[in-house]
């Protein structure tokens, strides 16, 4: 298992690696940069660079973990990529179904495929499903998510690239927001973040603000969470109007 630096999970599990870009949010994909680096270092799991690759040797890893974990599934890929065969997705679901001690978080930009898989996979209560939405062109992903059978549904507005007009969070348990990080990061605006936060508050949806992405994007240069020694340190800081938002869905 790999301990994760991602603020909203504990560990990552990558039974596939690699992907292809589908929308503007993919432009500065971290998984691509990481895959290319690991490929250059000769790491076997990344022998194909960023091409979609099944990591069969990782498939049963969660069966070996005794302690319950919150697991981000495929942080370096997209589980519903069309090059991941249905039989392999079924095997991944079987592992998740058979390890109820763990909580799995699947995040995808390819939610359309979930509709076609509905007869092949079982959404046990420990599997959360989320969609990435970067701007208003992709809010349709939320509508499709709402029609799935996942017990816990979430949206990741990261990297947030515009003000989101869509504001119906009915049946959405959790909303994550983050600015883009890295050398070519695109700027996130405070107004965009607050608009989503306020919609969450109105609709009683858990809200988690991950990071501003870069220090220069954060309108408060004195945000203490910019400091690496802060317990809630995040890239560029993570306070909005002097408050840290780290809510989780109520799953009782
Ligand atoms: S879907 Fe995710 S992993 Fe795939 S290219 Fe886009 S950002 Fe990267």
Task: Indicate the top mutation candidate among 32, 52, 161, 182 to test ligand 1's pocket, ranked by most ligand atoms within 8 A of CB.
Answer: 32
pLDDT digits (tens, 9 = 90+) for 172-183: 999 999 999 999
Residue 251 falls inside a structural domain: no
Paired tokens of 204: 């009683």
Cα–Cα distance for residue pair 24/55, rounded to 1 Å: 27
* In-domain check, residue 164: yes
* Token output for 103: 């909580």
**In-domain check, residue 18:** yes
Instruction: Output the residue whose Cα is nearest ligand 1's atom 3.
Output: 77
* Across 62-78, average pLDDT: 96
Measured by CA distance, the residue closest to atom 7 of ligand 1 is: 26
Q: pLDDT (tens digit, 9 = 90+) per residue, 86-141?
A: 999 999 999 999 999 999 999 999 999 998 998 899 999 999 999 999 999 999 99
Would you list the DSSP string of 201-219? HHHT-EEEEEE-SSGGG-S
Could you tell me if 214 and 181 are in contact, meaning their C-beta atoms sit under 8 angstroms apart?
yes
Question: Is 125 domain-assigned?
Answer: yes
122 lies in some domain: yes
Is 119 within the bounds of a domain?
yes
Name the CA dihedral angle for 25, 31, 37, 42, rounded to a multiple of 10 degrees: -150
In a domain, 21, yes or no: yes
pLDDT at 38 over 70: yes
What's the CATH number where 233 sits? 3.80.30
Total count of domains within the chain: 1
159 torsion bin: left (phi>0), alpha (psi -120 to 50), beta (else): beta
Q: Give the pLDDT band of residue 2 (cuts 50, 70, 90).
A: confident
Position 252 scores a pLDDT of 67
Domain region containing 35: 2-244
| Tens of pLDDT, residues 187-229 | 999 999 999 999 999 999 999 999 999 999 999 999 999 999 9
* C-beta contacts of 139-146 below 8 A and 24+ residues apart: 139/164, 139/165, 139/166, 141/109, 141/111, 142/166, 142/172, 144/111, 144/112, 144/114, 144/115, 145/111, 145/172, 146/170, 146/171, 146/172
What pLDDT score was predicted for residue 58?
A: 96
| CB of 84 closer than 6 angstroms to any ligand 1 atom | no
Residue 249 is assigned to a structural domain of this protein:
no
Ligand 1 geometric centre to CA of 169 (Å): 24
> Is the CB of residue 139 below 6 angstroms from any atom belonging to ligand 1?
no
């Amino acid at each position: 298992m790999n301990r994760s630096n991602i603020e909203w999970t504990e560990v990552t599990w990558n039974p596939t690696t690699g992907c292809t870009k589908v929308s503007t949010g993919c432009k500065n994909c971290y998984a691509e940069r990481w895959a290319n680096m690991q490929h250059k270092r000769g790491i076997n799991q990344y022998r194909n660079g960023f091409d979609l690759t099944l990591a069969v040797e990782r498939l049963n890893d969660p069966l070996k973990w005794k302690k319950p974990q919150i697991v981000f599934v495929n942080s370096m890929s997209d589980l519903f990529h069309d090059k991941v065969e249905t039989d392999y997705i079924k095997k991944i679901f079987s592992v998740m179904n058979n390890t109820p001690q763990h909580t799995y978080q699947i995040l995808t930009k390819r939610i359309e495929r979930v509709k076609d898989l509905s007869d092949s996979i079982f959404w046990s209560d420990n599997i959360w499903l989320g969609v990435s939405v970067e701007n208003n062109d992709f809010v349709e992903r939320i509508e499709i998510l709402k029609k799935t059978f996942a017990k816990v549904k979430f949206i990741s507005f990261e990297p947030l690239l515009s003000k989101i007009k869509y504001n119906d969070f009915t049946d959405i348990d959790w909303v994550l927001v983050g600015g883009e990080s890295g050398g070519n990061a695109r700027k996130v605006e405070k107004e965009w973040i607050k608009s989503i936060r306020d919609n969450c508050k109105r609709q009683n949806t858990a809200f988690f603000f991950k990071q501003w992405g870069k220090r220069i994007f954060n309108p408060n240069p004195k945000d203490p969470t910019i400091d690496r020694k802060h317990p809630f340190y995040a890239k560029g800081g993570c306070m909005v109007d002097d408050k840290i938002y780290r809510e989780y869905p109520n799953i009782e």
